Amino acid sequence: MAADADAARSPGISPDLPHWHEIVQATLKRNEVNLVPYVPDRVLTPLIAGLHADPFFTTFATAREEEAVGILAGAWMGGRRGALLMQTSGFATLANVLASLVVPSQIPLIMFVSERGTLGEFNVGQSLVCRTMRPVLDALAMEHHTMTRLDELEFIVDRSIKQAVATQAPVALILSPLLTGGKVFA
């Protein structure tokens, strides 16, 4: 039983299950989400590499997460879907743009946040920044999900993208260390 739960969560433990980043990439593609700016994070590295390797995606680094939100808002208004990849500290820079552009303009911004600051964090600053994330999301009544299990991942990502577009509302998809393995103290 415990072994089953581990297999459902942990990357690469079961040879039958794809890695989390392969599921995310395939689900983005199936939903025609093809513009993917990011500010990198160690945990996101395999996803970023996979996106760069697939010409379906236009993926690139931006100088700030806020800049990427502007790009995605413009792209949505121009008829193109995208998603932003970042870590928890990147999300912490976004309260202003979410409250002053994304939410009032009804932009279905899709965000993936690699969760730092919990479940074995070794940097006190990261753990404090992490505590600001869900209160900000809740203050703006934004949809968010914390994804911990490989077997639920595709469902959550797929349905969340569809809901964001259908309801013209942003969503934050938080990649828990339970799903990705997180970053461990070296």
Count, residues near another protein per rule CB under 8 A:
32
One of 74, 120, 125, 135 touching another protein (CB under 8 A): 74
One of 48, 51, 73, 130 touching another protein (CB under 8 A): 73
**Interface positions, 101-120, toward another protein (CB under 8 A):** 101, 104-107
How far apart, in Å, are the Cα atoms of 162 and each of 10, 60, 81, 110, 118? 26, 24, 11, 10, 29
Instruction: Work out whether 66 is an interface residue with another protein (CB under 8 A).
Output: yes
Structure tokens of 55?
Answer: 């010409």
CA–CA dist 178, 78 (Å, integer): 36
- Name the helix (H) or strand (E) containing 8: helix 2-9
Instruction: Work out whether 83 is an interface residue with another protein (CB under 8 A).
Output: no
Please, what is the minimum distance in Å from the beta carbon of residue 31 to another protein?
16
Biggest CA–CA distance in the chain, Å, is: 49
Judged by the rule CB under 8 A, the positions of this chain that interact with another protein are 35, 58, 60-64, 66-80, 82, 96-97, 99-101, 104-107
